[in-house]
Amino acid sequence: MIELLAPAGDLEKLKYALIYGADAVFIGGNNFSLRARASNFNLDTIKEAVDFAHALGKKVYVTTNIIPHHEDLDGLIEYLKDLERVKVDAIIAASPVIIKTALDNTNLEVHLSTQQSAINFKALKFWKNYGVKRIVLGRELSLDEINLLPKGEVDLEVFIHGGMCMSFSGRCSLSNNLTLRDANRGGCAHSCRWQYYLYSDHNKVSDEFFSMSSKDLMAIREVPKLIDYRIASLKIEGRMKSLHYIATVVKTYRMLIDEYVKTGQIKSFEMYEDEIFKAENRLTSSGYLDGDIGPDKQLYEFMGERPNQAFIGLVNDYDKTSGIATIEQRNYFKIGDKIEVFSPNGDNKTFILDNMTDEKDTSIDVARHAQQIVKIKTPFPLEKYSMLRKLL
């Protein structure tokens, strides 16, 4: 069975990713990990994450994917042994130093990061012989090129959703040059997404700004081929994304994968794309997968941000006797709104909100305070961990 691999920036996101259908999650620890601004895990929370995942029969991979300078290597062996002790299922690494240290000093399974740009047969053979168990392919490959790679000798992992770096396999020096924040050591400032103007001899040539950013990757229509090509793992990017984003994207790809594995076809790609767009706030494309990279996949003059306020609350509890759900508010909503319930299991359901109380059972018309606890009576039972969206 093909693996669906999801990101998790903190323990709450990890639990939701697994509950909503991920087979495995990747997380960053406090050391040796990119995405330094994400809510990374310490050893205690890594252990808690592993225990939670293993109880569900699922896996946790820890990123150790920085390109280290000499001073970054202090404590490496001890940290890797700690990860082994808490029983993480694998590490994801880019540096040969980190990979060799793990292989020589622990029994940790090692996955090769996409930052090593493994995009041809000889690279795959080299890293297999080096000792890695899985290779995360460079995002510069088309479906046809992926299909030509040998399968079975080493597990292959392919990105199917999330942010795309404008540099080759994420090895960017733009942030370091402009802000002294090294993207390859966890400090990316996303400089490619800034607004730039063209000057000649200190004179602005045009008032039109441009960026150097690409659209986010969305491979809804490419997943069936990747399954046919016997790819081991399909990877979603986004450890800094919201809880709602993680749950929505994970469940959508889970349903897509399950439909294709069960029936051998997809009845409606549009249904899955529509579901993704309820959480995705940047423009998307199929990236390199269709083999055609042109201006339509870039964001030269438009940043593509679309603020999404549809996510309004989490279901913390549901009382079957009274039919009352306890909701943790995440965005403004009010009596009269049309609400969609999005759950780990089953189809989405809708209702019109016609009642609401605060924690003291006082009737209210509006939930406007961040993480306010409210109670509502719903026309059907709600599952814990469900989410509420306001249909706009």
In this structure, is residue 210 part of a structural domain?
A: no
Domain holding 381: CATH number? 2.40.30.10
In this structure, is residue 199 part of a structural domain?
A: no
Q: Are residues 278 and 336 in the same domain?
A: no
Q: Are residues 181 and 69 in the same domain?
A: yes
Whole-number pLDDT of residue 197: 83
**Chain segment 344-380, per-residue pLDDT in tens:** 999 999 999 999 999 999 999 999 999 999 999 999 9
- Chosen domain end from 235, 256, 289: 289
Q: Are residues 147 and 284 in the same domain?
A: yes
Q: Are residues 72 and 176 in the same domain?
A: yes
For residue 151, give the amino acid letter: K
In this structure, is residue 198 part of a structural domain?
A: no
Q: Which long-range contacts (CB under 8 A, 24 or more apart) does 178-183 make?
A: 183/34
In this structure, is residue 190 part of a structural domain?
A: no
Q: Are residues 44 and 164 in the same domain?
A: yes
In this structure, is residue 301 part of a structural domain?
A: no
Q: Are residues 239 and 357 in the same domain?
A: no
Q: Are residues 96 and 32 in the same domain?
A: yes
Q: Are 355 and 335 contacting, i.e. CB atoms less than 8 angstroms apart? A: yes
Q: What is the pLDDT along the chain (392 residues), one digit of tens a residue?
A: 899 999 999 999 999 999 999 999 999 987 776 655 555 689 999 999 999 999 999 999 999 988 888 888 889 999 999 999 999 999 999 999 999 999 999 999 999 999 899 999 999 999 999 999 999 999 889 999 999 998 878 999 999 999 876 666 666 677 677 776 655 555 666 777 778 888 898 888 888 877 777 888 999 999 999 999 999 999 999 888 899 999 999 999 999 999 999 999 999 999 999 999 999 878 888 888 988 777 777 776 655 555 555 899 999 999 999 999 999 999 999 999 999 999 999 999 999 999 999 999 999 999 999 999 999 999 999 999 999 999 98
Q: Is 324 helix (H, G, I), strand (E, B) or coil?
A: strand
Whole-number pLDDT of residue 174: 72
Q: Are residues 276 and 362 in the same domain?
A: no
Q: Can you give the length of the chain in residues?
A: 392
Q: Are residues 79 and 46 in the same domain?
A: yes
Domain holding 89: CATH number? 3.20.20.70
Distance, CA of 286 to CA of 304 (rounded, Å): 16
Q: Which domain holds residue 366?
A: 311-390
In this structure, is residue 371 part of a structural domain?
A: yes
Q: Are 77 and 53 contacting, i.e. CB atoms less than 8 angstroms apart? A: no
When divided into structural domains, the chain yields a total of 2
Q: Are residues 320 and 261 in the same domain?
A: no
Q: Which long-range contacts (CB under 8 A, 24 or more apart) does 152-156 make?
A: 152/230, 153/124, 153/125, 153/128, 154/124, 154/127, 154/128, 155/232, 155/233, 156/124, 156/231, 156/232, 156/233
**Chain segment 183-214, per-residue pLDDT in tens:** 555 566 677 777 888 889 888 888 887 777 78
Q: Are residues 251 and 343 in the same domain?
A: no
In this structure, is residue 194 part of a structural domain?
A: no
336 Cβ contact list (under 8 Å, min separation 6): 352, 353, 354
- Chosen domain end from 259, 289, 319: 289
Q: Are residues 219 and 339 in the same domain?
A: no
In this structure, is residue 111 part of a structural domain?
A: yes
